[in-house]
Amino acid sequence: MSIDLLILGNAPIERMLERVKLAEDNGYDTVWLADERFYREVYSCLTYFAQRTSRVKVGPCVTDPYARHPALTAMAIATLDEISDRRAILGIGAGISGFAELGIDRKKPARAIREAIELIRMLLRGETVTYKGEVIQFTEGKLSFAPVRSEIPIYVASNGPIGQKTAGALADGAIMEACGNVEEVKAFRAVLDAGAKQAGRAPESVKLIARLNTCIAADGQLARQSLRPTVARLLGASRLKFMTADAQGLALPPELVASVAGAAYASGFAPYLPLLPHVTDRHVTSFTLAGDVAEVTAQVIELRRAGVDSVIVMPFAAEGSTIEDTISKFGSEVWPAVQAAKQGRA
């Protein structure tokens, strides 16, 4: 198991760099930057991070095949790989941010992801490509430089079964947001395995990554309170599809969800705040990592035993604390305890 950090380009570049360096110093394996419109540009920032770190892998989590043509993504990730001395990693998903503003039609998302991966891999291998997909088109093109690696790892982020099967069939790893409980992990693993087997791949070759909003505080209840609005949003917006939420009694009543329907993505948490009285601590702990060090450690150990290969931490601050505190506590206190438990020392 490994631990990764996800940051959003909503802070000044030097503050983001401080967080990246903090992650590198505290045992994180990868630093991901969200390709989120309209924050700071993803590849500019990743290049800055790569030049000021030495160990952590760096990549977008996630870019999409609509706002940026996959051929341009191949060009960008190969350049980042050269700058970072082979530390680039690519996260790709269907995306959502900025599409309304840019007038983008997000059609056939799972197909678009599949076609993007196929085209990117051909270009990274140095091929001259004509690609006529259902979504992606490319005519007699190639990269005008030789990538330092032809096999840059590609991870697919999806909270739907079709996208997850695509990940199982094609990707090096699969990322699921808010996959914070054992039942959802097992269901996610089953879909990935089915996609891998259908494609003739070994299921264990596809890593399972849980992308989780995370808050750690001495007072675990304060940490849970900090993440409650994020859970209200993910349940109210209904953009993420969970395979086990209904069976576990974690879905909100349809009439509640309907009462906040239609909110624009860019509006953030505000439209979903009326749902807060209905978001219990059980909801929070099922979809996030929230609590004191011991509580979060226990949850990560459970997730590892259920089959999670990596946790992507999206850090939040509890009242009276900072985002940096969550990054540091997870790396310096939670992660060593998780490793010790695996080795039978805890």
Maximum pairwise Cα distance, the chain = 59
Q: Whole domain around residue 124: which residue ranges? A: 2-218+289-342
**Tokens matching residue 326:** 């969550």
Domain annotation covers residue 236: no
Domain annotation covers residue 38: yes
The residues, ordered by sequence, that sit 6+ positions from 293 with a Cβ below 8 Å of its Cβ are 216, 329, 333, 334, 337
Distance CA 145, CA 147 (A): 6
H helices of 238-344, in order, are 254-258, 281-287, 293-306, 323-329, 335-342
Angle between helices 335-342 and 293-306 (to 10 degrees): 50
C-beta separation of 276 from 228 below 8 A: yes
Angle between helices 70-83 and 42-51 (to 10 degrees): 10
Domain annotation covers residue 42: yes
Domain count across the chain: 1
Kindly report the pTM of this predicted structure. 0.96
Per-residue pLDDT of the chain (346 residues; tens, 9 = 90+): 999 999 999 999 999 999 999 999 999 999 999 999 999 999 999 999 999 999 999 999 999 999 999 999 999 999 999 999 999 999 999 998 999 899 999 999 999 999 999 999 999 999 999 999 999 999 999 999 999 999 999 999 999 999 999 999 999 999 999 999 999 999 999 999 999 999 999 999 999 999 999 999 999 999 999 999 999 999 999 888 999 999 999 999 999 999 999 888 888 889 999 999 999 999 999 999 999 999 999 999 999 999 999 999 999 999 999 999 999 999 999 999 999 997 765 4
**CATH number of the domain within which 41 lies:** 3.20.20.30
Domain annotation covers residue 68: yes
Domain annotation covers residue 24: yes
Domain annotation covers residue 75: yes
